[in-house]
Structure 1
Amino acid sequence: MPPHDLRNAFEEGGDVSARLDFDEPSTAEEWELAREMTGETPEVRSSTLAELRQMIDTRMELPNRTEESFLIKFLRARSFNVEKAYNLLVRYYRFKETHPNFHKEVYPLRLTYIGDDDVVCVPPYRDQNGHRIIIYRLGNWKPRNYSVDELFKATVVILELATLEPTTQIKGGVCIFDLSGISLSHVYHLTPAVASQIVELMGGSFPIKIHGIHVVLQSFLFDMIYTLFKPLLDARTRERIYIHGHDLASLHTHIDPRNLPAKYGGMRKEYSYNDWIETLKMDETVIRSLVQLGYKIDPEDDTEEMWKTVKESLQKAS
């Protein structure tokens, strides 16, 4: 099924949008949800932000990035336990230091070849619980054309963008690993080192709660892959992995088919990763955030006017 053009996606209803949602909780209902899911209240938010800033300043082992919009991600991901939020922040920076090739000198708007192959997809809608959804179709990956590092680069970009959204910070996300088409050539490239990096990335280096990792349409080769991963997983992560095989009804007990593509027994159209990127590249807040995170943006990747506006706003901020 060909990807559906996001320019026409809004005809399906208000829940389909490739734009990121930057709105903080404002209504009584939204604040109640934030309190139930993370323990957040205006008072808790204010006091823990001050405590986390003080911890960063006192311990002097992290970059001094202390703006509220950045730190709140880590507090929400650890339910406003300041010590745990700080430790997550340490792991976040450690991951970046250990794997600079995943984010340094990376032009995120040029990773379109991954979208061309439909290896990864971020649907412009959420599941029934408000979780962001990331879909990997690893059988479409062509190792002879680009390395697994390119998939890591795309994943890190997706996680960085997703964690800009207060809704995702509060509600978290789910992953679907579609392993149809996996071959021995794919297994060959999934070394123990790669397995360790995937676990490190998904298991606690980014400020997002992953509520479920769903494996579907796998073949017997999955056992070879999972043998690499299982010893690296802690008990909590193992509890979040659901292996459905071809039993899509099992997947539907976790994700409503109204929030899944037709390939997985759902009711949604297919959407392209590249359409998502094309929409985000026109968002000044997104471009500014990517630049602040150290990514490279070439004016040729974007509109020149947008780039000029971003540069001016960053110069004013500094």
Structure 2
Amino acid sequence: MKSGKELERFEELQDLPNDSHFLKPYLLQLRQKAEQEAVLRDHLDLSENFLIRFLRARDFDVDLSLKLLINYHRWRKECPEITANLHVSSVLGLLQNHYHGVLRSRDASGSRVLIYRIGQWNPKDFTAYEVFRVSLITSELIVQETETQRNGLKAIFDLQGWCFAHALQINPSLAKKISAVLTDAFPLKVRGIHLLNEPLLFHPVFAMIRPFLPDKIKQRVHLHGSSFAGSLCHFFPHSILPPEYGGAGPGLEEVCQEWTRFIMQSEDRLHQLSTDGYPEKGCLSVKQMKSF
């Protein structure tokens, strides 16, 4: 456990820009350690823009950052059914059906807020692996944002419309892969998971996923039921939530359409990720990120 002074120092590091000379020693240490790992040496981009994500995700603890980097590599290699095809065309039907969006504004802590509408997923048309690929696409895009690296994300899952056909798609193998990304295989901090309109049929599926989650993630899962209007506002500003969730922000369809356009504008980046399995050097241009 880190001391108070160590935590304060790591918080100060988080506030620094990526090109700060104070971050250089951590980046150098992580690169040197990564180059000594056979599984990483010939496969991953070890540029500063890439490595900083892992350092921020683990509060600049170099050893923990290295472990996360290795897990990220292994997860991508072991889950080709999810990671090998990040082309927009592979999930365009889901996106156009307004299944997923990212709120225009961040919450009070600076976290990105992601929304998933399970009722818009037709299990006859898309498998759970394709549905999870939507999450990976969004994660690979928002992880490039420094503010998201610092403050992480929160996800709202609207389970209205969840049915037996959805439940049949989730097996223990997929549950383990999902939990890996939530815990120690992707360089983003999950600050909260909020479930709305969860039916009784969903609870066995959640019971399958829950054992794979560490305690800190379990504590960040909030079940709101159908009376979410009174509880969701305790976690998110009224001004950013869609009207459908009791807020004054843009509506769900507008949110989903905006994010779909942004994903489509990122096709070149996603093509690169699909081609070689790993991020190319550098990040999206500032112009492209500001287009959303």
Q: What range describes the TM-score normalised by the shorter chain of this pair?
A: 0.7 to 0.9
Q: Is the 8 A contact 2:27 2:48 kept in 1?
A: yes
Q: Which amino acid aligns with 1:56?
A: A
Is 1:79 the equivalent of 2:59?
yes
SS of the aligned residue for 1:259 comes to coil
Which of 151, 171, 174 is 1:191 aligned to? 171
Identity of aligned residues (%): 29
Give the TM-score taking structure 2 as reference length. Answer: 0.82
Residue number in structure 2 paired with 1:95: 75
Is 1:69 the equivalent of 2:45?
no
Q: Which amino acid aligns with 2:14?
A: T
Q: Is the 8 A contact 1:74 1:89 kept in 2?
A: yes
- Residues 154-169 of structure 1: matches in 2 within 5 Å? 154-169=134-149
SS of the aligned residue for 1:213 comes to strand
Name the CA shift for 1:117/1:209 in 2 (closer, same or farther; >3 Å): same
**Structure 1 unmatched runs, 5+:** 1-31, 297-309, 311-318
Q: Which amino acid aligns with 1:130?
A: G
Residue number in structure 2 paired with 1:56: 34
* Deviation larger for 33-42 or 174-183: 33-42
Residue number in structure 1 paired with 2:246: 265
| Aligned-partner Cα distance in 2 for 1:266–1:293 | 36
Q: 1:181 Cα deviation (Å)? A: 1.3
Name the CA shift for 1:105/1:231 in 2 (closer, same or farther; >3 Å): closer
Residue number in structure 1 paired with 2:215: 235
Residue number in structure 1 paired with 2:237: 256
Name the CA shift for 1:232/1:259 in 2 (closer, same or farther; >3 Å): same
Residue number in structure 2 paired with 1:278: 261
Q: Is the 8 A contact 1:112 1:274 kept in 2?
A: no
Name the CA shift for 1:89/1:121 in 2 (closer, same or farther; >3 Å): same
Q: Which amino acid aligns with 1:149?
A: Y
Is 1:117 the equivalent of 2:86?
no
Residue number in structure 1 paired with 2:281: none
Q: 1:257 Cα deviation (Å)? A: 1.8
SS of the aligned residue for 2:239 comes to helix
| Aligned-partner Cα distance in 2 for 1:84–1:70 | 16
Q: Is the 8 A contact 2:27 2:52 kept in 1?
A: yes
Q: Which amino acid aligns with 1:254?
A: F
Q: Is the 8 A contact 2:198 2:225 kept in 1?
A: yes
Q: Is the 8 A contact 2:57 2:65 kept in 1?
A: yes
Q: Which amino acid aligns with 2:125?
A: N
Residue number in structure 2 paired with 1:129: 109
Task: Give per-residue Cα distances to partners, 1:31-75, cap 9 Å, x unaligned.
Answer: x99844837573441110010111112233302521111110010
Q: 1:272 Cα deviation (Å)? A: 4.4
Residue number in structure 1 paired with 2:182: 202
Q: Is the 8 A contact 2:159 2:196 kept in 1?
A: yes
**Structure 2 unmatched runs, 5+:** 1-7, 277-283, 285-292
Is 1:178 the equivalent of 2:158?
yes
| Aligned-partner Cα distance in 2 for 1:88–1:238 | 20
Residue number in structure 2 paired with 1:46: 24
SS of the aligned residue for 1:61 comes to helix
SS of the aligned residue for 2:114 comes to strand
| Aligned-partner Cα distance in 2 for 1:36–1:177 | 33
| Aligned-partner Cα distance in 2 for 1:37–1:210 | 19
Residue number in structure 2 paired with 1:146: 126
Name the CA shift for 1:145/1:287 in 2 (closer, same or farther; >3 Å): closer
* Deviation larger for 251-260 or 265-274: 265-274
Name the CA shift for 1:136/1:246 in 2 (closer, same or farther; >3 Å): same
Q: Which amino acid aligns with 1:276?
A: W
Q: 1:287 Cα deviation (Å)? A: 4.9
Q: Which amino acid aligns with 1:261?
A: P
Name the CA shift for 1:197/1:280 in 2 (closer, same or farther; >3 Å): closer
Give the TM-score taking structure 1 as reference length. Answer: 0.76
- Residues 23-38 of structure 1: matches in 2 within 5 Å? 35-36=11-12, 38=14
CA RMSD of aligned residues (A): 2.5
